[in-house]
Amino acid sequence: MKQFRYYISLYVIFPFIFTGFTILAAIVSFRLTKYGVQHGLDPAQPVIWFIITIGCLAYICGFILVRMILKPVEKFVADTQKLSSFAGSPNSKQKDGSVDQIQKFTNVFDQVTTALSRMEAHHFFPDIIGESMAMRGLLGLIKKVAPTASTVLILGESGTGKELVAASIHNNSKRNSQPFIKLNCAAIPEELLESELFGHEKGAFTGATKNKPGKFDMADGGTLFLDEIGDMPLNLQAKLLRILQEQEFYRVGGNRTIKVDVRIIASTNKNVEEMVQQGTFREDLFYRLNVFSLHLPPLRERKEDIALLVDYFLERVPQKAEISPLALQMLVAFSWPGNIRELQNTIESAAVIADNGYIEPAQLPSYPARYPAYFAAQTRPISACRQTPP
C-alpha cells in the first residue's frame, strides 16, 4: 500500500514555532498575573522567571533548527572550497573572520552557480568560446529558442560568429538529424541568387541544361541559414516572404508548386530597421524574420573572453606557440573592429613569425601602429630603470 508523506515548507515551520512560543508566553503570563491578583500575591517574580524560561526554550529550539539546516550547508561549502576549481578564487582566500558566514555562503553559491553555467554552456555549445556575462546570457537565449520552430534573426558585426551561433541553434534543435544548409546572400551575384535559393528547371535560361534543386530543396526538413540577408535584392525578398508565409515556392522557369518544411535562420551585420525606413528592405519581411532576434556582442564588449579565445586559437594553429603576458595584455587592450575573425588571423600570423614558439609584442602584426600609446607607456619606465644607477 502506497504511503503518502506531507512536506511542510520551512517558511511555515519557523513562523509557526515562534508564534506558538509568543502565544504561550502571553497566555501563561496572563494566567500567572490573574492568579496573583486573585490571591493577593505579587505576580512579577513568577512572570519574570517564566519569561526567562520561555526565552531560553525559544533560543534552544531556534539554535537546534538553525543547526539542523546549516549543518549540511556548511559541509557543502567546506567540501566545495577544497575543490581545485574554487581553491584559487579570491573569495576562497579570505580568512573566515574577514567575512560573515552568510557572506561566505553567498560567495560559494555564486561561484558554484557560475561554474555550473559554464559547464552547461560548454556541454550544449562546445564550439562557442566565451564565459563572459554577455555570452552566458546569449547562450541561455540560444538554448531556449533552439528546440522551437521559430525563425531566428541574428544581428551583429562582421566576425562575431553569427554562422557558429546558427549552427549551434540547429544542432540543439529537433531538426539536428536533418540538413543544415548555408547560403551567403552577399557572395552570389544577383542574377544567380534566385536560382541558388529556389533551383531551376531545364531550359529556364541559357546554360540550364538540367533541373537543379535549390537550397530550399536541400534544406527540406532541416534548417536554412541565410547569411547577410540585408544584401538580398528587393525582388527576391518578396519571394522569400511567400516561403515564410506559405512554405511553398516555384523553381526558376517552373510552374509547379513545391512544398517544403524549412526553418529559417537569417543574419546580417546591417541595421535592418534603418534599411526598412530607407526602403531598401521590405518591412513585412523584416517582421517575418524578426520573430526571435539574437544580438551578438562585439569582442570589445566581452574582453574577458579574449584570453580564452587566444588559447583556443593557439591550440589549433599549425605552428605551436605560447604567448607572453604583455602580448596578451595588448590583445585585450585592442578594440578589434574585425572581432573574432581578426583576432584569429592575428594569432595565426603571430604564431608563424614567433621566435622559439613564443609570441612577444613585437610579433603582433603592425604592432607599433596599433598600440603606440600602450607601447610608449610600457617602454618609458623600462628605459628609465636602465638609466638609473644601482
Same domain, 144 and 277: yes
Residue 134 pLDDT > 50: yes
Which pLDDT does position 389 carry in this prediction? 33
Last residue in a domain, options 266, 297, 328: 297
| pLDDT cut 90: percent of the chain above it | 37
The pLDDT assigned to 87 comes to 54
Residue 117 lies in a domain: no
Q: 156 with 271, same domain?
A: yes
Are 268 and 370 contained in the same domain? Answer: no
Mean pLDDT to the nearest integer, 369-378? 49
pLDDT, position 303: 93
pLDDT digit string (tens) for 117-133? 555 555 667 788 888 88
- Helices 325-333 and 372-387: angle between axes, nearest 10 degrees: 140
The total of structural domains in the chain comes to 3
What residue spans of 92-219 are helical by DSSP H? 101-124, 133-145, 162-171, 190-198, 215-218
Res. 279: pLDDT tops 50: yes
Residues 141 and 255 in one domain: yes
Range among 68-72, 252-256, 332-336, 352-356 rated most confident: 332-336
Q: How confident is the model at residue 148 (pLDDT cuts 50, 70, 90)?
A: very high
Q: How far is residue 243 from each of residues 237, 240, 250, 289, measured CA to CA in Å?
A: 10, 5, 10, 12
pLDDT value at residue 388: 34
Determine, yes or no, domain membership for 127.
no
Residue 165 is predicted with a pLDDT of 94
Please indicate, yes or no, whether residues 289 and 340 belong to a single structural domain of this protein: no
Which range (73-82, 165-174, 239-248) has the least confidence? 73-82
Kindly calculate the radius of gyration of the chain based on its CA atoms and give it in whole angstroms: 34
- Specify the pLDDT at position 385: 35
Smallest CA-to-CA distance from 146 within 119, 175, 117 is with 175
Sign, CA torsion 26/30/31/36: positive
Q: Are residues 145 and 277 in the same domain?
A: yes
Q: Say which CATH number the domain at 174 has.
A: 3.40.50.300
Mean pLDDT of the chain: 80
| Mean local confidence (pLDDT), 300-314 | 93
pLDDT at 390 over 60: no
Lowest mean pLDDT among 145-149, 248-252, 324-328, 335-339: 248-252
What pLDDT band is residue 251 in, cutting at 50, 70 and 90? confident
The mean per-residue pLDDT over the stretch 2-23 comes to 67
- The predicted pLDDT at position 290 comes to 94
Q: Which is it for strands 212-213 and 358-359: parallel, antiparallel or unpaired?
A: unpaired
Domain's final residue, options 245, 270, 297: 297
Kindly indicate the confidence band of residue 378, based on its pLDDT and cuts at 50, 70 and 90.
very low
Average pLDDT estimate for 30-37? 75
Whether 107 maps to a domain, the answer reads: no
Please tell me the predicted confidence (pLDDT) of residue 185.
Answer: 92
Largest CA distance in the chain: 121
Look up the CATH number of the domain holding residue 354: 1.10.8.60
Q: Is residue 185 part of a domain?
A: yes
Give domain status of residue 320, yes or no.
yes
**Are residue 18 and residue 146 in the same domain, yes or no?**
no
Q: Yes or no: say if 273 and 286 are a contact pair by the CB < 8 Å rule.
A: yes
Q: In this structure, are 276 and 311 located in the same domain?
A: no
Q: At which of 267, 297, 327 does a domain end?
A: 297
Higher pLDDT residue, 152 or 200? 152
The 8 Å CB, 24+ separation contacts for 103-106 are 104/77, 105/73, 105/77
SS3 of 204, please? coil
Residue-wise pLDDT for 181-205, tens only, equals 999 999 998 888 988 898 878 766 6
Domain that holds residue 150: 133-297
Q: Is residue 92 part of a domain?
A: no
201 and 155 in a single domain? The answer is yes
46 pLDDT higher than 80:
no
**Domain-located, residue 120:** no
Check residue 203 and give its pLDDT: 65
- Is residue 2 in a domain? no
Q: Is 263 helix (H, G, I), strand (E, B) or coil?
A: strand
Regarding whether 362 and 278 lie in a shared domain, the answer is no
pTM confidence score: 0.69
Cell 492568579 belongs to 35
Is 325 found in the same domain as 219?
no
- The pLDDT of residue 11: 66
Q: Give the residue, 379 or 137, on which the prediction is more confident.
A: 137
Verify that 63 and 156 share a domain, yes or no: no
